[in-house]
Amino acid sequence: MSRSAGRLKHLMGHLDRPPATIRASPTSVGLSTPTQPLKLRYSLDNNLLSPEQRLFYEENGFLLIKNLVSPEDIDKFRQEFERICRREVDIPGLIVMRDVAIAKSEFVPDQRAVSKLQDFQEDPELFRFCALPQILKYVESFVGPNIMAMHTMLINKPPDAGKKTSRHPMHQDLHYFPFRPADRIVCAWTAMETVNRQNGCLVVLPGTHTGTLKEHEYPEWEGGVNKMYHGVRDYNPDHPRVHLEMERGDTVFFHPLLIHGSGMNQTQGFRKAISCHYAAADCYYIDVKGTTQENIEQEVNEIAQKKFRVDGVTFQDTWAFRGRLVQGNRISL
């Protein structure tokens, strides 16, 4: 441990009651070098994160942990995904999405037709990911001890069919969430195989989690855009980017305001990742009327109306319906 990190560790013994102020030194990766006193506002102390890791998350809005999920578990998640694609199981509430470039092609009952599974909270095998103790321990460092799994996805980024539709536009996940506070929400995203720039790894804009929620809309892409893939309307294109190249089992935790997306899959393989968004169980729902989130609220409500065939399902209802407690007590979500 560096001297400054040792000093920080000592100081952190006094943090987390009222937010404290410390002067931080640069982290080892040098993505951001604060010169101002830094408030530890984005992470909590549960004796897991080192001072360097805490500072890194505070400054950059993400934290990559190598080798967190075992190859055995990843294989099981992959097998379950394949069973779903072959339609051997029917999971209530599961949304199976297809890439725009292949959605209208002849139906192929295997993974080639599926670009993403959403809302697998009722699939006991896939949902095991959300409750893995080694993941929850990190999640607790960001959201606290009472944890809800709110949003689940298995992303199967297909080889790009030449229209660049396999890209995911730069966005902030908070755009999709009608609950707050943002700082008590975190995503865990685990690579299910090697992900790199060739197959479309995640790309993040470090430090953007300290900004506000921006306006999102469908990007005007010539080849089309996948459903629900809203992008940030304007962000600084010159902001430094970090491509998160990861190995199978590596997991990145990131803040819901962090601007991120993923590139085109230029390989012939399907790039797989599994993710869950967690929130503190005492987060509260907000009304998004009159905010930049109205467009996503409307889209989600239309989908919910078609799916459940009942009027009056609210944006908040759709989240309350899929949220599951994974640790501690269920409070307000």
Ligand X SMILES: O=C(O)CCC(=O)C(=O)O
Residues that bind ligand X (CB under 6 A): 153, 155, 157, 168, 173, 202, 260, 262, 273
The structure tokens 């590596």 sit at 250
Task: Say if residues 245 and 201 touch (Cβ distance below 8 Å).
Answer: yes
Tokens 């404290």, residue located: 20
Query: Each residue of 232-244: b (16+ CB within 10 Å) or e?
Result: beebeeeeeebeb
- Cβ atoms within 10 Å, residue 300: 19
- Extended beta strands in the chain, E state: 21-23, 37-39, 62-65, 95-97, 116-118, 147-157, 168-171, 179-180, 185-191, 202-204, 216-217, 231-232, 242-244, 251-254, 260-262, 271-280, 284-285, 324-327
Cβ 171 to ligand X shortest distance, Å: 6
Q: How near is the Cβ of 117 to ligand X at its closest, in Å? A: 11
CB of 152 to ligand X, least distance (A): 11
Closer of 130 and 155 to ligand X (Cβ): 155
For residue 218, how far is the Cα from the chain centroid? 19
Beta bridge partners of 18: none
Quick one: 63 or 202, whose CB is closer to ligand X?
202
In the complex with ligand X, the residue whose CB is nearer, 172 or 327, is: 172
Residue of minimal CB distance from ligand X?
Answer: 262
The tokens for 269 are 């393989």
Q: Give min distance, CB of 237 to ligand X, in A.
A: 18
Half-sphere exposure of 246 (CA within 13 A, CB side): 30
Copy the structure tokens of residue 25.
């030194």
CB of 309 to ligand X, least distance (A): 27
Nearer to ligand X, 24 or 114 (CB): 114
> By C-beta, is 143 or 203 nearer to ligand X?
203
- Least distance to ligand X, CB of residue 72, Å: 22
Of 146 and 152, nearer to ligand X (C-beta) is: 152
